[in-house]
Every structure is written in C-alpha cells, then in structure tokens.
Structure 1
Amino acid sequence: MLEEIGAYEAKTKLPEILRRVEAGEAFTITNRGKPIADVIPSRARDHLKAEAAIANILKAKKHRVSDEALNELRNSGRK
C-alpha cells in the first residue's frame, strides 16, 4: 500500500517527496482524505539506463584488439 500524504503536505514538502520517489518510494496524495493522485517512480528512467547500457555494450563490441596486441598486453602484465 502506498503511503498517503495530504495535498498541503505534498505541496510544502515536494522536494523531499521527489527525492524519496527517485529512491523508489511511492505515495498517494489525498485531498480531505480522498485519494487524488499516485506519485510513483518513472519507468522512463529505467528505460534510459537500459538504453545507455546497451549502447555501451555495442560500443565495446566494436573495439577489437588484435591477437598481437593482446599477446603484448599479456606479456607486459607478467613482469
């Protein structure tokens, strides 16, 4: 169940509430005890993280190391 917050409290503590939502919490904003809105973490952020991870994987796959360079790296590490 979502934590309930009155509309006035939500207005006065919005920066704190947004930090908590960013950390994964969710809230129901009420007006005179009636649920009005749910504030939940955005799924867009997860989508952006996934896109960045995929881009990094694809970038890493494009970078090839020749066998000769790889052997040089191995040998230099054995000093």
Structure 2
Amino acid sequence: MFIEIGAFEAKAKLSHLLQQVKHGQCYTITVRGQAIANLIPTETSMHANIVKAVERMRSMPKIKGINHETVTSWISEGRR
C-alpha cells in the first residue's frame, strides 16, 4: 500500500522515509496533489522481506488431522 506524501515533507523527512522503505513501506511523492514518483524498496530488500515472511510462516505450528481431501471440500463449500 502506498502512502501519499508531499515533496516538501518528503525532503524534510527523507532519512525517516528511507528507514520505512527499508522495512517494506511504499510512498507516492506528490507535487500539488499530483503523483510524481514512487519511493519503493529495491528488489534486494523485497527479497529479504519475503525470506523473513516465509521463515515466520514455517515456524508456525502445523495443524494436525487435516488432509488434502478436507481442504478440497472446504474450498468446494466456499464456492457454492
């Protein structure tokens, strides 16, 4: 999700914005309300965030007693 920020404010808070971008936040920089540029993480930063997210998901406890057929039936029920 992009947060809009004016160019003057972005200039004043650039160090803070860069720290936020490092952690995955995205900004749209505007001039007089018109979008001019996007401030987004580099591919390397995004990859690091994805790796961390996958590691956290893998560390979550696994649900026992659920098999492929059960999940398939839940999906089918949701499509009715």
TM-score, length-scaled by structure 2: 0.55
Instruction: Kindly provide the CA deviation profile for residues 8-66 of structure 1, in whole angstroms up to 9, marking residues without a partner as x.
Output: 0000000000000000000000000000000111003438xx8xxxxxxxxxxxxxxxx
Q: Which runs of 4 or more aligned residues in structure 1 lie more than 6 Å from their structure 2 counterparts after TM superposition?
A: none
Q: Which amino acid in 2 is paired with 1:18?
A: L
Partner of 2:26: 26
Aligned length in residues = 48
| Higher alpha-carbon Rg | 1
Q: Which amino acid in 2 is paired with 1:35?
A: A
Percent pairwise identity: 46
TM-score, length-scaled by structure 1: 0.55
Q: Which amino acid in 2 is paired with 1:10?
A: A
Partner of 2:37: 37
